[in-house]
Amino acid sequence: MKYAVITGASSGIGLAASVELAQKGYAVIGVGRDEARCEQAALQIRAAAPDANIRFLCADLMQQREVARVAHEITEILLQEHEGKLDALINNAGCVRSWYTTTEEGYEQQFALNHLAGFLLTWFLLSQLGRAGGRVLMTGSESHKQFRMRWHDVMFSRGYNPLAAYKQSKLSNILFARGLNDRYQKDGVRAYVVDPGLVCTEIGCKNTGGLVNWIWNMRKKHGAQPEVPAGTYGYLCETEPAPEELYYYRCKPNRYSKQVTRENADRLFALSERLCGVEYPSAIVTEKEKTI
């Protein structure tokens, strides 16, 4: 049995991806923010996959101390049940904000949750991914193609624009995936970005208001159901040998921004390490290798 960790798993795309992988026989560790919604999601997954090995952990991944806590809980589960191996990590948790709001660390919330949370969680679980030759998936967006990194003020502390901040966070997702592949593809860990397209979810209606809420309510009416993009997560987790491209839409490679360069990926990696207070290793060394 393979193990997958899916963040933002209590609703929308994350819930649909959880069902997809549970039906394929994965043990799924879902991470959600609200306990009641997590319990309801677990019931939905078991209804679709009666034999599902599913559990949920609650954490507000916008706060780095919560990322650290839930990463420790995940590690304990993997050590007890799966020889410390993690086959797939799906960094799906995300948010949209109408106004400038910050985390405990003082980071703009879209950048913090949509990018930094996955960056930090992946760092905590890197050796587990290495043991399994695992795959890291990010939930991206077509909107990343319309933006350049705002290097002089990535937090949009001046002149906040919610849509621009969202686009930057999605560009960060694919730059992070590029950076992971540059560093760890040689160790058997592969990273991908899934473009789900326009999907009928509530992401644009959570903790938003005014124009953002109105626009999202109009747009989501034309979106696909979450089960449609969920198939791409299953494809990228299951296909052997590992798919070669970086960015996928409906199980096929898709074109991405020319901003996705090694230079920009390295620059974001270094910035993210500073913001998270961590340093990624030059290579993945598992506990077994340490003893050789």
192 a catalytic residue: no
Q: Which helix (H) or strand (E) holds 216?
A: helix 210-220
Nearest to 124 by CA among 64, 52, 166: 64
Query: How far apart are alpha carbons 13 and 7 in whole angstroms?
Result: 10
Residue bearing tokens 């290495």: 130
User: Which residue reads 């020319």 in tokens?
Assistant: 258
Q: Which of 26, 166, 256, 280 is catalytic?
A: 166
Radius of gyration, alpha carbons of the chain: 18
**Which residues are CB-contacts of 99 (< 8 A; sequence separation ≥ 6)?**
160, 162
Tokens of 33: 């923010």
d(CA 248, CA 271): 26
How deeply is 106 buried, as exposed, middle or buried, from its count of CB atoms within 10 A (0-12, 13-18, 19+)?
exposed
The single-letter code of the amino acid at 28 is V
| Region for 200 from its dihedrals, namely left if φ exceeds 0, alpha if ψ lies in -120 to 50, beta otherwise | beta
Quick one: tokens of 292? Answer: 């050789």
| Dihedral sign of CA atoms 18, 163, 179, 32 in order | negative
Rounded to whole angstroms, how far apart are CA atoms 57 and 278?
A: 23
Phi, psi of 102 (to 5 degrees): -125, 165
Element (H, E) at 127: helix 126-132
Residues belonging to the active site: 166
